[in-house]
Amino acid sequence: MIPARERVSSFLDGPRTRWRQSVSLRVVSTTLALSLVVVGLIGLLLVDRITVGLLDAKERASVVEAANGTAEAQRLLAAADTGPTTASPQALVDTVTTALAQRAGSPALYEVLLLATPPTSGSAPERGTNLVAEVSVPLELRAAVSGSLRQSWTYTEIRYLDQRSQAGLAVGAPLTVPGVGGYELYYLFPLTQEAATLDLVQRTVALVGVLLVLTLGIIAYVVTRQVVSPVRLAARTAERFSAGHLTERMSVRGEDDLAKLATSFNEMASNLQEQINRLEALSRVQQRFVSDVSHELRTPLTTVRMAADVLYEARQEFDPATARSAELLQTQLDRFEALLADLLEISRFDAGAAVLDPEPIDLRTLVERAAEAAAPMAERTSTPVVLHVPETACVVEVDARRIDRVLRNLVLNAIEHSEGRPVDVTVAAGEGTVAVGVRDHGVGLKPGESSLVFNRFWRADPARARTIGGTGLGLAIALEDVRLHGGWLQAWGTPGDGSHFRMTLPTHVLGPLEESPMPLEPADAGSRVSAPVASPYRDPRRTEVPR
């Protein structure tokens, strides 16, 4: 079962890739995010200012209304007290409450509570309008009114005896009822209208903000598209140009900076095309020269070979100096013929004329054949060649002649540079892949030389004498042979710790090849830093030395 973290990471791979690859997406997303933040801050500030303004206006109007109502109530109580007949406290309180309720209108703009101020007797009557509850008045407000004997106000929650409630503003003031004593008159102003106004303002601000953000996003997309589209066109043109379509050019429109970019790009492409065509022509001339010279040299070389063979066969009849000259002539002719053969092979690769003749074969057979071919040199240099092959067959579809040539070259090179130490040849098989590693324990390779060993005529030490008189093209031809099969040929080495050459092939010609069944750095490698062409299990086609 796939862990949840891996599932989430896999799900986010697509958006992350899209984010990295799209300039338009990043610009539009950034514009939307910043616009959202700015519009949000402006909207919050606007709503806050409107809220403060509405509440301030409500407070001013409520305080004035409560002051006028308190004065009217006190006037009514004073008039009742000076009349011919003094009314009872209940009648006075009811009269005031009724008068104030009539002032509130219908529907009522406020509620009224007439409460006795402690320590007034518990028999003092208290009244309220529309079932408003006494708990609607905060205790702090009652203490402020009774303590300061002045008008005070605060925000509160207006509650009713029928369990209703709503936000409101409570304004209280002291009041004297004749025959009873001190009272407190409270006006409770609901904030329903203000809340509705704020809801409308908030919805309007939110709608305008969303429309503004979307508009800015569309504007950013349009502007970005105008800038990015020519850049994308330039990128596609450059990709096609790099893929070999040298006639690709950008269309030039207008006289702005993008038009100048397109013009400069086209001029650069024209110059590059001219240089590439010139280099290709020079390369073809060089390839033709090498091929023609190699072919033309075969005829005189055959004649020289015939004469040299005659001299070599009769060397016993010559004096020692002449006999030695005949032997040297024979040896150098052999090397000259090998060089011509390698030059012809290289010219086939350069001309793209190399072809494969694949057939299924057991790779172990080719390895054993290469070791047998190198046995005379191994005996001459006292170098043991040790084979490590699996017991099961490693059948692979290859051109046996070419792979045999690669293996012989690798084994002979290892013997030449092993300085008498053992040479290990290992065969490994994986899923759809096989690999052969040739490990020597000789002088090794210096840092950076692992990427140079496949260059033509390259030598690690130009002053060092060759044991087998190679042409300097063996590893270059081996690399081309392996590439022709769709495989890898890589090198690892450390000074004083020897080197390791690994050939990895798909079981079918040009089949998929993602990793090698054998590590590039051998298990017996020392602790010193190595200089591999690529990491042991990394696809080297990205880092391999170009032809």
- Here the CATH number for the domain that contains residue 404 is 3.30.565.10
Q: Are residues 219 and 295 in the same domain?
A: no
Question: Is 60 exceeded by the pLDDT of residue 462?
Answer: no
Number of domains making up the chain: 3
| Mean pLDDT, residues 410-429 | 91
| Mean pLDDT, residues 479-504 | 91
Residue 239 lies in a domain: no
Q: Are residues 520 and 372 in the same domain?
A: yes
Q: Are residues 374 and 478 in the same domain?
A: yes
Query: CA 381 to CA 500: how far, in whole Å?
Result: 20
In CATH, what number is assigned to the domain containing residue 100? Answer: 3.30.450.20
What percent of the chain has a predicted confidence (pLDDT) above 90? 33
pLDDT recorded at residue 470:
58
111-116 and 127-128 strand pairing: antiparallel
Q: Are residues 71 and 34 in the same domain?
A: yes
pTM across the whole model:
0.49
Residue 107 lies in a domain: yes
Q: Are residues 206 and 262 in the same domain?
A: no
Q: Are residues 31 and 163 in the same domain?
A: yes
> Are 417 and 500 a contacting pair, CB within 8 Å?
no
pLDDT recorded at residue 2:
54
Q: Which of 354, 383, 402 is the last residue of a domain?
A: 354
One-character DSSP codes across 138-182: -HHHHHHHHHH-S-EEEEEEEEBTTS-EEEEEEEEEEEEETTTEE
Question: Is 80 exceeded by the pLDDT of residue 421?
Answer: yes
Residue 412 lies in a domain: yes
Question: Is 80 exceeded by the pLDDT of residue 422?
Answer: yes
Query: CA 276 to CA 244: how far, in whole Å?
Result: 10
Q: Which of 229, 257, 280 is the last residue of a domain?
A: 229
Q: Which of 70-74, 86-90, 130-134 has the lowest mean pLDDT?
A: 86-90
Q: Are residues 266 and 391 in the same domain?
A: no
Q: Are residues 220 and 173 in the same domain?
A: yes
Q: Are residues 56 and 179 in the same domain?
A: yes
Q: Are residues 256 and 113 in the same domain?
A: no
Residue 6 lies in a domain: no
Residue 77 lies in a domain: yes
Order of strands across the sheet with 423-429?
385-388, 423-429, 433-440, 498-506, 488-494
Q: Which stretches of 149-256 are DSSP H helices?
A: 192-242
Q: Which of 229, 260, 294 is the last residue of a domain?
A: 229
Query: CA 217 to CA 477: how far, in whole Å?
Result: 58
pLDDT recorded at residue 9:
62
pLDDT recorded at residue 6:
60
For the record, the structure tokens of 456 come out as 């033509």
Question: Is 50 exceeded by the pLDDT of residue 82?
Answer: yes
In CATH, what number is assigned to the domain containing residue 276? Answer: 1.10.287.130
Query: CA 75 to CA 246: how far, in whole Å?
Result: 103
> Are 427 and 396 a contacting pair, CB within 8 Å?
no
Three-state SS letters, 240-299: HHHCCCCCCCCCCCCCCHHHHHHHHHHHHHHHHHHHHHHHHHHHHHHHHHHHHHHHHHHH
385-388 and 423-429 strand pairing: parallel
pLDDT recorded at residue 534:
34
Question: Is 50 exceeded by the pLDDT of residue 165?
Answer: yes
Residue 150 lies in a domain: yes
Reported confidence tier of residue 497, pLDDT bands at 50, 70, 90? confident
Residue 547 lies in a domain: no
Reported confidence tier of residue 170, pLDDT bands at 50, 70, 90? very high
Question: Is 80 exceeded by the pLDDT of residue 34?
Answer: yes
| Mean pLDDT, residues 413-440 | 91
Q: Are residues 426 and 364 in the same domain?
A: yes
Question: Is 60 exceeded by the pLDDT of residue 529?
Answer: no
Q: Are residues 348 and 476 in the same domain?
A: no
* pLDDT tens profile 273-308: 888 888 777 767 766 776 676 667 777 877 887 888
Mean per-residue pLDDT of the chain:
82
499 phi and psi, to 5 degrees? Answer: -140, 165
pLDDT recorded at residue 372:
92
Question: Is 80 exceeded by the pLDDT of residue 486?
Answer: yes
* pLDDT tens profile 138-164: 999 999 998 888 999 999 999 998 889
> Are 448 and 531 a contacting pair, CB within 8 Å?
yes
pLDDT recorded at residue 488:
92
> Are 153 and 169 a contacting pair, CB within 8 Å?
yes
**Residue with structure tokens 């509130």?**
104
Question: Is 70 exceeded by the pLDDT of residue 136?
Answer: yes
Reported confidence tier of residue 426, pLDDT bands at 50, 70, 90? very high
- Nearest alpha-carbon partner for 346 in 472, 244, 501: 472
| Mean pLDDT, residues 57-69 | 93
Structural domain harbouring 294: 249-354
Q: Pick the more confident residue, 238 or 187.
A: 187
Reported confidence tier of residue 446, pLDDT bands at 50, 70, 90? confident
**Strand residue runs (E) in 281-406:** 359-362, 385-388, 395-398
Query: CA 167 to CA 158: how far, in whole Å?
Result: 6
Residue 256 lies in a domain: yes
* pLDDT tens profile 187-232: 999 999 999 999 999 999 999 999 998 998 898 888 888 777 777 7
pLDDT recorded at residue 542:
31
Reported confidence tier of residue 547, pLDDT bands at 50, 70, 90? very low
Three-state SS letters, 21-63: HCHHHHHHHHHHHHHHHHHHHHHHHHHHHHHHHHHHHHHHHHH
